[in-house]
Chain A
């Protein structure tokens, strides 16, 4: 019963407080609790150093599997080959419908495919 009274008191702050406020001029302070969960920040890593040019490099184009991504990467592949004839382009699609929890096992395999990567088109 005591619990019910307390809950309705809280509800009154939202819905019924107007009547009370009309007769009260005192300031009201509420202490409320933070609803967010604590998050342990991950170790922050830097990105990999860059080379001077794509010439002679093996570029891995990663299709994330969403409709149209392969078209966009195909266009980029043609442009890379045209500008850097000595570069090699490798298509390495992300496994379709791969569970997110399994992706950490897949990402390291990208490194075995070449020197640089282009990933797209993310949503």
Chain B
């Protein structure tokens, strides 16, 4: 079917990259001037001069006979990424600087110094697991690069991770490449979503993950380098790059290490988070999720707070967002231990707190928005379409249908399980609400296995 694709100048490289990835590099593409289009797009009158400028080009693209390369393009050749590279310098510092320059020039690094991934160091990293270096963990979006144990090990070395951490990194990569985790959205979207990585179970303590004051900050090698190993693995195995096919408009605020921390199971009044996800007590797991930047609640060291007040403020925050994307909305609630204990003392279990949040955040039918920005008319229409095409799970659909009427109270998530409650933080501490308002699922918890150097995770 002949056609033409409109994009904008800022997204032209992205469009070309996607066209190549999908095997149609010759698709005719017109790039509207980004500096004019985005400010004009709210008004047809203001858009008219832009359309005038591109109309004849569009007609030409729709009717111009094909060039031979457009009709029968040459086949893309397999690029082999297995050859080692030798880098020489006048001394160690010079050589390591050249390695860093080479890697950044090739878009293999993130801009911070990397540890040169020599075969010896990679082999030592691989010794952290009993898995074969050639084992395939998954295909990494958006270009579906093959993530073998060895390739992940190379990136883990670059990040400065210890071999002991490697099974955590492998399990996280298994989660990212699970078919139910929409990695393309997380790594490519303009929304600049950031992976959230939560380590749970005895391996978190054995590897000295920080779950207390400063859990998202610097100073803990496990938090920092596991997060960075994942960031580099996604960068290199999925082959993304800012302004080319990672189009996060602001970039991620936790760009280099993601939001990587562990749950404080010792101070939590409830069972470990991973048990709530169906794992056994004593299992070590890693959860990979995705979120925008967290909202912060509570008084910390400077102001009074109550646990119920924190929860009710979170409810208000979520309700203020309305019911946008009820088929996919997900919240990760990180309660600092004092807050969790106070809630437990009031009688809340994790499950009853999830149910409280589910009920309290429901939105009156009369307050559903009449128009949404993603083109499906009102929120009610949007929800009905989501039910029809299966985005709202069949087992939850009737609850939405029963409430799409005057007097109804429409859920903002599909089920109470979409509130993921984790205990971590200092004493005093703050409480965090991570929200993923995206369109797809991005949450997996994976058991850590095949560890060779730790007691946990074997």
Contacts and interface: CB of A to CB of B under 8 A. Distances in A.
Contact of B85 (A32, A71, A96, A111): A32
Interface in B114-162: 115-122, 124, 127, 140, 143-148, 151, 154-155, 157-158, 160, 162
Interface in B151-177: 151, 154-155, 157-158, 160, 162-163
Nearest to B2: A48
Interface string B92-127: 111110010001000010000101111111101001
B231 to A, nearest CB: 12
Interface in A1-57: 3, 6-7, 10-14, 17-18, 20-21, 24-54
Interface in A92-111: 93, 95-102, 110-111
Interface in B34-52: 37-38, 40-44, 47-48, 50-51
A90 to B, nearest CB: 13
A32 B84 contact: yes
Interface residues of A, number: 77
B239 A37 contact: yes
Most buried by B among A26, A63, A117: A117
Given A20-B91, A30-B86, A40 B63 contact: no
A102 to B, nearest CB: 8
A45 B23 contact: yes
Interface string B357-369: 0000000000000
B449 interface: no
A115 B290 CA distance: 40
Contact of B162 (A7, A36, A119): A7
Contacts of A102: 389
A119 B4 contact: yes
Nearest to B11: A123
Contacts of A21: 91-94
A7 B62 contact: no
Contact of B154 (A26, A35, A53, A74): A35
Given A43-B23, A118-B6, A33 B118 contact: yes
A21 B371 CA distance: 66
Interface size class of B (residues with CB under 8 A): 35 or more
B90 interface: yes
A100 B42 CA distance: 26
A65 to B, nearest CB: 4
Nearest to B39: A68
Given A30-B87, A37-B238, A99-B440, A49 B71 contact: yes
Given A32-B116, A65-B374, A123-B8, 15 more contacts: A10-B157, A13-B96, A18-B93, A28-B88, A31-B85, A31-B86, A37-B140, A37-B237, A45-B73, A53-B63, A65-B375, A67-B373, A68-B38, A76-B51, A118-B58
Interface of A: 3, 6-7, 10-14, 17-18, 20-21, 24-54, 63, 65-72, 74-76, 79, 83, 93, 95-102, 110-111, 115-123
9 contacts: A12-B92, A29-B89, A29-B95, A37-B237, A44-B76, A48-B3, A97-B374, A118-B4, A120-B7
